[in-house]
Amino acid sequence: MTSLKIGVAGLGTVGISVLKILEDNKATIRNRAGSAIEVVGVTARNKNAKRPMDISAYTWFDDAQDMVAHCDVLVELIGGSDGIAYKLVKEALSKGVSVVTANKAMIAHHGLELATLAEENNCNLMFEAAVAGAVPIVNAIRHSFTSDKITGVHGILNGTSNYILTQMRETGRDFADVLKDAQDKGYAEADPTFDIEGVDAGHKVAILAALAFGTQPDFSGVHMTGISSLTEEDFHFAGELGFKIKLLGSAEMHDDRVLQIVEPCFIPDGSPFAAIEDAYNAVYCECEYAETPLMSGLGAGGDATASSVVGDIVALARGESAPVFGVPVSSLKKVGSFDPREVESRYYIRFNVKDKVGVMADISAILRDHGISIETMIQLGRSPEQNVNVVMVTHDALREDVNTASDLISRLDVIFGEPCIIRIEEDF
């Protein structure tokens, strides 16, 4: 029984958890893997950083590339789409060293190139931890739904924003306040942009789309809207109307084009996704045969993410040989984008208006002229000549028409600021 030699690059929370799990669970992991997992080296930016674990027993490499030369598998936990992580992974794969990574940005941006490198050099590239933390959705698509035609993948894919949305709903506090609290508690980073603007979820959508549809990963085709412009009123109305607000990431095949979108949506209270709160993630597939399998679990955290990293290491020890994105790189299709403006759905729209006779009539007329039919329209309170919120729920309408009408409405002199438009997703 030979051992699998791994090197760990990046010793943040996840990296340290990987070392801890490999150590704590050594006998079981060896038994499941069929061989020992040997950590031949570790590397990080700063050898002497304060860490929750003594790493002096591991061989330290100042030069990560030097470490790669000693490995069967590089565990890349540095992060970032480009820079040192990207360079190191390319270096490893071109030498036939397999890579396990949690780096969604890198896979979303460079997945095609890296999968090609892996294939050319007979090694593998694994990234279960890159999507939805401990939820084994990559393995499920790569290994379980292989007989099926997947037509859609939808998920709550960012723990930080889901935590913020949960807190905003439960406490009634505003976005800035809850974000600050999340930062103080370590649930959000100092620069939270990627999390709150949908970019992190967008990386994951690009990865899931490639796996599910056998298409080339295309992050540039992901349309992203974040959660930072949501207000207490939106949560109030969502509740009144029987919905919760969730940041949904979706990929859907529409004939030969793929829709990739991240945006806050109204989903029915009581539906499976509505129960996914705080840092939990969930992914739901639409399949021809399996219909609608759903998976949920902890989307972030050192141990949860590390458990997926080590799962990938075990798979490599067992001789994992599935193609990186489920099919050989040469057959990954290059497909066009389905524009979100073509999405037909019910929409929630909120305007901030001056409370004045005739406002509702003006708004209604513009919507009518764009073929948008209103299901519900509510003005919150009365406050003559002051700002009030008007919210409405449309019947099924084309997003493009909703956008155009909203733009026109925004230009009325009784309207303040930008309208808030939220898609209503009945299915999750």
Binding site for a second copy (CB under 8 A): 17, 21-22, 25, 28-29, 31-34, 128, 134-136, 139-140, 143-149, 214, 270-272, 275, 287-298, 303-304, 306-311, 313-315, 318-319, 321-323, 326-328, 331
Q: How far is the CB of 218 from a second copy (least distance, A)?
A: 19
Q: Are 354 and 387 in contact, with CB atoms under 8 Å apart?
A: yes
Nearer to a second copy, 79 or 214 (CB): 214
**Between 303 and 375, CB nearer to a second copy:** 303
Beta carbon of residue 346, minimum distance to a second copy (angstroms, whole number): 22
Q: Annotated catalytic, 204?
A: yes
CB of 10 to a second copy, least distance (A): 18
CB 8 within 8 A of CB 15: yes
Residue 326 Cβ, how far from a second copy at the closest point, in Å? 6
Using the minimum distance from each CB to a second copy, give the nearer residue, 117 or 276: 276
CB 259 within 8 A of CB 338: yes
Beta carbon of residue 37, minimum distance to a second copy (angstroms, whole number): 9
Pairwise CA distance, residues 229 & 244, whole Å? 16
By C-beta, is 312 or 401 nearer to a second copy?
A: 312
Taking the complex as a whole, the smallest distance from the CB of residue 300 to a second copy amounts, in Å, to 11
Enclosing H/E stretch for 9: strand 4-9
Q: Tell me the C-alpha distance between 96 and 111, whole Å.
A: 17
Report the run of H or E that residue 254 belongs to, with start and end. Answer: strand 243-254
Q: Strands of 302-427 (E only): list them.
A: 336-337, 344-354, 374-379, 387-394, 397-398, 415-424
> Helix 13-24 and helix 302-317: axis angle, to 10°?
60
Comparing CB distances to a second copy, the nearer of 326 and 419 is: 326
| Smaller CB separation from a second copy, 28 or 122 | 28
Q: What is the DSSP letter of 322?
A: S
Catalytic residue among 104, 204, 244, 246: 204
**Which residue's entry shows tokens 């109204």?**
266
Contacts 24+ apart (CB under 8 A), 252-257: 252/151, 252/152, 252/153, 252/286, 252/338, 253/151, 253/152, 253/213, 254/338, 254/342, 256/335, 256/336, 257/335, 257/336, 257/337, 257/338
**Cβ proximity to a second copy, 264 vs 297, nearer residue:** 297
| DSSP letter for each residue of 67-121 | HHTT-SEEEE----SSHHHHHHHHHHHHTT-EEEE--HHHHHHHHHHHHHHHHHT
CB of 36 to a second copy, least distance (A): 14
Q: What is the DSSP code (8-state) at residue 342?
A: G
Q: Which residues are catalytic?
A: 204
